[in-house]
Amino acid sequence: MNFLKINGGHGEGGGQIIRSAITLSCITNQPIHLENIRKNRKNRGLKPQHLTAIKILQKIANADVVGNELGSTELKFIPGNIENLELIEDVKTAGSISLILQVLIPVVSISQRKLSLTIKGGTDVLWSPSMNYTQYVLKEAYSRMGIEFSIKITNRGYYPKGGGEIKLEVYPSKIKSINLLERKSNDFKLICTFSKISIKTIKDKIEKIKEKIKVKIEIKEQEAIDSGASLLIYNIDNNSIMGIDALFNKKIQNFDLDLDKIIDNSLGLDEKLADMIVVPASLTEGKTIFRVKEITNHLETNLFVTSKITGCRYGIGKIPEGFEVIIEGVSNSSIK
């Protein structure tokens, strides 16, 4: 069998390579052989949320998989035919649901299939986008690219027990390129969800935020097994989509939030979203162009891996405020 070998230790060397590789393997029907998975990390190899994403994708794509075990640093993924499915899954930890969705949504939608999924795990946990970010920021970006999905959050799930639950619906799509270059509005919105934390504490912290940024506020108390809170500030207009999210740090009794990252960003995307649109952008007809404040390790790694699997072309140019990224998708007939 003709496997495409990918070094999982390249660049950022984390879960992003795994997610992008198995996503594109399914869409392009290319068997892949991932090596050195998270090999330089403290807890190397595959983690529970990676295993769950691979397991669900294995069902959706009728794939053969070798090495799908906790801690494995090597994985062979051989995709088959992608099917419409209704599934119920459980990460069984506070592993990030949002990172799993980054794999499933593009595969199903771009492959012109449908998915109904109920999944339990962590909705708002460290080192991953919050579920509100997925629902309001990523959903907007994907929708503009033709990818449609809906999420209903039935329970929140914080670290360490998780126990959150969402219901996902993914619909067939015809993807298209987009341009996101410059933020032209200041219509910021703030959504905060919390459980087992004083409403006074939450409101006091949000009042401090209001001193720095003019923002429309929505606060929701949503029951969870563990105490926790998640906050999202976002801004959407015709030329830009951006958000910044943060969890409530119980040690310092405050949100781990760097407001300057969104206040000072007058470009097209936040750094997190730039990374997430690379996979669909690589498969569209025409060029996707976006501007970001910085080229993160995640973005650079994702561009490299995506171009290796799809054959898409990309370029990065310096501009006064940051960088402009151009991705020319493989559907363009000029690319062989």
The order of strands in the sheet holding 188-195 is 215-221, 188-195, 228-237, 240-249, 254-255
Taking the CB of residue 330, how many other CB atoms lie within 10 A of it?
19
Local structure of 52: helix, strand or coil: helix
- CA 12/CA 271 separation, integer angstroms: 14
Angle formed by the axes of helices 15-28 and 297-310, nearest 10°: 20
Query: What residues pair up with 325 in beta bridges, in sequence order?
Result: 290, 316
Q: Are 122 and 89 in contact (CB under 8 A)?
A: no
The DSSP letter of residue 324 is E
Question: What DSSP designation does 309 have?
Answer: H
Alpha-helical (H) ranges within the chain are 15-28, 48-60, 97-110, 131-133, 139-144, 199-210, 260-263, 271-276, 278-281, 297-310
**Which amino acid is residue 331, in one-letter code?**
S
Helix pair 15-28, 97-110: axis angle to 10 deg: 20
Task: Give the span between the Cα atoms of 135 and 153, in whole angstroms.
Answer: 9
Catalytic annotation present for 298: yes
Q: From the candidates 10, 33, 50, 298, which is the catalytic residue?
A: 298
End-to-end alpha carbon distance in the chain:
22
Query: Looking at the annotation, which residues are catalytic?
Result: 298
